[in-house]
Chains A and B, each alone.
Chain A
Amino acid sequence: MTGLSLFPAILLDIIGSAANIILSFLAWRYARLLAKRQPDNFVWGYLHYVTFAIAAFATSRAVGHLVKQFLFMADRADIWAAISAYSGGFNSLFMISVAAVMIFYHKGVQAYEALEHEAGKLKTANLDLAGAARQLRDLNQNLEQKVEERTEELSQSEKKFRHLFSASKDMVFFSDADNRVVDMNDSGFEMLGYSREETSALQLADIFVDPTYIETFAKRLTEDGYIKDLNVDLACKDGKVISVLLSATAIIGEKGEILGSEVIAKDLTRLKMMMEQLASSEKMASVGQIAAGVAHEINTPLGIILGYSQLLMDDVQEDSDAYQSLQVIERQTKASRKIVADLLKFSRQSGSTREEVDLNEILADVVAVTEHTLGLSNIAIHRQFANGLPRVDGDPEKLRQVFVNLINNAHHAMQDQGGGELLLRTRINSGDVMVEIRDSGHGIPEKHLAKIFDPFFTTKPVGQGTGLGLSVSYGIIHENGGTIEVESPVHDQDQGPIPGTLFRIRLPPSGTGKQQQMENRSGIPA
Chain B
Amino acid sequence: MKPNFLIILALTPIFMAVLFCREALALQTHGGAEGVVVHQFAHFQYLGALGYLLWDIRRSSFSGIGWIYLQRFCWLMMIWNGIAFIGHFAQVALPDGSISTEDGYLSALLLLPFSFGKWVYYITALDHLLCTPALFFLFLAMRSFYRSLDVPKKEQT
Q: Which residues of A contact B (CB under 8 A)?
A: 1-10, 12-13, 15-17, 19-20, 23-24, 26-31, 33-34, 37-38, 44, 47, 49, 51, 54, 58, 72-73, 75, 85, 88-89, 91-93, 95-106, 108-109, 111
Q: Residue-by-residue, is B32-68 near A (CB-CB < 8 Å gives 1, otherwise 0)?
A: 0001001100110110111011001000100000000
Question: Is A34 a contact of B142 with CB atoms below 8 Å?
Answer: yes
Given A3-B111, A16-B128, A89-B35, A104 contacting B139 (CB threshold 8 A): no
Question: Is A47 a contact of B142 with CB atoms below 8 Å?
Answer: yes
Question: Is B139 a contact of A27 with CB atoms below 8 Å?
Answer: yes
Question: Is A10 a contact of B128 with CB atoms below 8 Å?
Answer: no
**Interface SS of chain B: helix, strand, loop or mixed?**
helix
**Interface SS of chain A: helix, strand, loop or mixed?**
helix
Q: Which of A17, A89, A97, A101 contacts B128 (CB 8 A)?
A: A17
Question: Is B146 a contact of A100 with CB atoms below 8 Å?
Answer: no
Q: Answer whether residue B106 sits at the interface, using C-beta atoms and an 8 A cutoff.
A: yes
Complex Cα spacing A27 to B134, Å:
11
B13 contacts which chain A residues (CB < 8 A)? 92-93, 96
Q: Answer whether residue B151 sits at the interface, using C-beta atoms and an 8 A cutoff.
A: no
Question: Is A108 a contact of B1 with CB atoms below 8 Å?
Answer: yes
Question: Is A99 a contact of B42 with CB atoms below 8 Å?
Answer: yes
Q: Answer whether residue B112 sits at the interface, using C-beta atoms and an 8 A cutoff.
A: yes
A37, chain B: closest CB distance, angstroms: 6
Complex Cα spacing A49 to B49, Å:
14
Can you offer 20 A-B residue contacts whose CB atoms are under 8 A? A3-B110, A5-B110, A6-B122, A7-B107, A17-B128, A24-B135, A26-B142, A34-B145, A54-B138, A73-B105, A89-B35, A91-B42, A92-B39, A95-B42, A96-B45, A99-B50, A100-B5, A102-B49, A104-B5, A109-B60
Q: Answer whether residue B157 sits at the interface, using C-beta atoms and an 8 A cutoff.
A: no
Question: Is A95 a contact of B43 with CB atoms below 8 Å?
Answer: yes
Complex Cα spacing A33 to B145, Å:
10
Given A23-B138, A99-B45, A6 contacting B52 (CB threshold 8 A): no
Question: Is B145 a contact of A7 with CB atoms below 8 Å?
Answer: no
Question: Is B12 a contact of A73 with CB atoms below 8 Å?
Answer: no
Complex Cα spacing A104 to B1, Å:
9
Complex Cα spacing A88 to B106, Å:
23
Question: Is A85 a contact of B35 with CB atoms below 8 Å?
Answer: yes
Question: Is B142 a contact of A1 with CB atoms below 8 Å?
Answer: no
B129, chain A: closest CB distance, angstroms: 7
B8 contacts which chain A residues (CB < 8 A)? 100, 104
Q: Answer whether residue B149 sits at the interface, using C-beta atoms and an 8 A cutoff.
A: yes
Complex Cα spacing A6 to B50, Å:
30
A54 contacts which chain B residues (CB < 8 A)? 135, 138
Question: Is B138 a contact of A51 with CB atoms below 8 Å?
Answer: yes
Given A10-B108, A15-B128, A99 contacting B138 (CB threshold 8 A): no
A103 contacts which chain B residues (CB < 8 A)? 48-49, 52
B111 contacts which chain A residues (CB < 8 A)? 2-3
B21 contacts which chain A residues (CB < 8 A)? none
Question: Is A9 a contact of B126 with CB atoms below 8 Å?
Answer: yes
Q: Which of A2, A28, A38 contacts B100 (CB 8 A)?
A: A2
Question: Is B145 a contact of A19 with CB atoms below 8 Å?
Answer: no
Q: Answer whether residue B109 sits at the interface, using C-beta atoms and an 8 A cutoff.
A: yes
Complex Cα spacing A95 to B39, Å:
8
B110 contacts which chain A residues (CB < 8 A)? 3-6
A22, chain B: closest CB distance, angstroms: 9
Q: Answer whether residue B92 sits at the interface, using C-beta atoms and an 8 A cutoff.
A: no
Q: Answer whether residue B99 sits at the interface, using C-beta atoms and an 8 A cutoff.
A: yes
B100 contacts which chain A residues (CB < 8 A)? 2-3
Complex Cα spacing A516 to B68, Å:
112
Complex Cα spacing A106 to B1, Å:
12
Given A6-B125, A10-B108, A19 contacting B52 (CB threshold 8 A): no
Complex Cα spacing A104 to B48, Å:
12
Top 9 nearest A-B pairs (CB, nearest first) are A16-B128, A3-B109, A30-B142, A102-B49, A99-B49, A3-B111, A9-B125, A23-B135, A99-B45
Question: Is A5 a contact of B107 with CB atoms below 8 Å?
Answer: yes
Within 8 A of A (CB), among B62-77: none
A109 contacts which chain B residues (CB < 8 A)? 56, 60
Q: Residue-by-residue, is B113-142 near A (CB-CB < 8 Å gives 1, otherwise 0)?
A: 010000000100110110110011011011
B106 contacts which chain A residues (CB < 8 A)? 7, 10, 73
Complex Cα spacing A27 to B141, Å:
8
Question: Is B126 a contact of A34 with CB atoms below 8 Å?
Answer: no
Question: Is B141 a contact of A4 with CB atoms below 8 Å?
Answer: no
A524, chain B: closest CB distance, angstroms: 99
Question: Is A16 a contact of B4 with CB atoms below 8 Å?
Answer: no
Q: Answer whether residue B16 sits at the interface, using C-beta atoms and an 8 A cutoff.
A: yes
B139 contacts which chain A residues (CB < 8 A)? 23-24, 26-27, 30
B9 contacts which chain A residues (CB < 8 A)? 97, 100-101
Given A2-B111, A3-B110, A75-B105, A12 contacting B50 (CB threshold 8 A): no
Question: Is A16 a contact of B107 with CB atoms below 8 Å?
Answer: no
Question: Is B39 a contact of A91 with CB atoms below 8 Å?
Answer: yes
A422, chain B: closest CB distance, angstroms: 94
A1 contacts which chain B residues (CB < 8 A)? 112
- CB-nearest residue of chain B relative to A7? B106
A24 contacts which chain B residues (CB < 8 A)? 135, 138-139
Question: Is B107 a contact of A102 with CB atoms below 8 Å?
Answer: no
Q: Answer whether residue B143 sits at the interface, using C-beta atoms and an 8 A cutoff.
A: yes
- CB-nearest residue of chain A relative to B48? A99
Question: Is A88 a contact of B39 with CB atoms below 8 Å?
Answer: yes
Complex Cα spacing A91 to B42, Å:
9
A489, chain B: closest CB distance, angstroms: 86
Complex Cα spacing A75 to B110, Å:
18
Complex Cα spacing A390 to B105, Å:
145
B150, chain A: closest CB distance, angstroms: 9
A183, chain B: closest CB distance, angstroms: 64
- CB-nearest residue of chain B relative to A1? B112
Given A95-B46, A98-B49, A51 contacting B142 (CB threshold 8 A): yes
Complex Cα spacing A108 to B1, Å:
8
